[in-house]
Amino acid sequence: MSIRPTLEMRKAVETMEGAGVKLHRAFGFQNPTELDPFLLFDDFRNDHEEDFLRGFPWHPHRGIETITYVLDGTVAHADSLGNAGELNAGDVQWMTAGSGILHQEMPRGSAEGKMHGFQLWANLPGAMKMTAPRYQDVSATDIPTVVDDDGTSVRVIIGDFWGKTGPVDGIAADPQYLDISVPAGLRKTFRVDTYRRAFAYVFAGSGRFSDASAPTGVLLEKEVMGEEVNIRDMSGNRTLIRFGTGDEVTVQAGDEGIRFLLISGAPIAEPVAWHGPIVMNTKDELRQAIKDLNNGTFIQPAH
């Protein structure tokens, strides 16, 4: 077994998307090789309706897959294929944009007017860029939760973990997507296949992630304590931890416990040509996608 080194820790950055939704972006629109096959990760957590109700009106996607995970509130969605529905607390939607789709996502919030969820973008390999679009809508009741004897809880959204298999399947990035809660004071190790790129996103509590070795210097907000990276208080700071190569991640939960997403996937290692919600392999393909969008041929007819 080998501990994955903690390459970097950084806070998510506040930004605005859609028609004026305030959110925090952990990564995206920068170096697409950094967390290949993943391109972008947003945390949309708001306690005030004016910060999210304008939502994400109709917009296009091509060449990627989007994964939306709702923790609190509801999100109404619709697309150009005629699909429509609602994501509630605990639900997940995996959308394969493939050759092209138009859709909208409109947060409605909880009864208390709060909203919290995440959206992750996963790249598609060149051979699948123009595959037919599809949805996988998964209810919270269909997502298995494993609770260890020490109280550690893991929701297995995608992939295999602790004898359970997440309900989302057939994804190009071969991902694993876990929602992990570790009780206060516990030290816990989680296996991650060596071939996967991996990151953690801490959104509640505090703790320390073990490092493979004591790194020299300080990387952003990273604090080195022996061979551990200390995450002081993530209840409001929303922090990404990017891991290097290895097959396990170890965390020591703080006084209030820690909750984080642990996400990994197989690198695609292909060129990326990226313009907003359209991600292709070459600039020519990207220009064609934009041309298709402008002349009304972006959506491919069903066969």
Which single residue is written with the structure tokens 């891991």? 243
Q: What is the C-alpha to C-alpha distance for residues 205 and 182, in angstroms, rounded to an integer?
A: 9
CATH 2.60.120.10 fits 6-265, yes or no: yes
pLDDT at 80: 87
pLDDT at 221: 37
pLDDT at 30: 86
pLDDT at 300: 67
Q: End-to-end CA distance of the chain: give it in Å, rounded.
A: 48
pLDDT at 216: 36
Which single residue is written with the structure tokens 């809508």? 137
Which single residue is written with the structure tokens 């501990």? 3
pLDDT at 177: 96
As a whole number of Å, the CA-based R_g of the chain is: 19
pLDDT at 282: 97
pLDDT at 84: 85
Q: What is the pLDDT along the chain (303 residues), one digit of tens a residue?
A: 788 988 988 899 999 988 788 999 999 988 999 999 999 999 999 888 888 988 889 999 999 999 999 999 999 988 888 888 899 999 999 899 999 999 899 998 888 888 999 999 999 999 999 999 988 889 999 999 999 999 999 999 999 999 999 988 766 778 899 999 999 999 999 999 999 999 999 999 988 898 875 443 333 334 444 455 555 544 456 899 999 999 999 999 999 899 999 999 999 999 999 998 999 999 999 999 999 999 988 886 554
Joined tokens for residue 106: 């409109």
Q: What is the C-alpha to C-alpha distance for residues 44 and 182, in angstroms, rounded to an integer?
A: 23
Half-sphere exposure of 210 (CA within 13 A, CB side): 15
pLDDT at 228: 59
Name the residue ranges covered by the structural domains of the chain.
Answer: 6-265
Which residues share a beta bridge with 273? 280
pLDDT at 303: 44
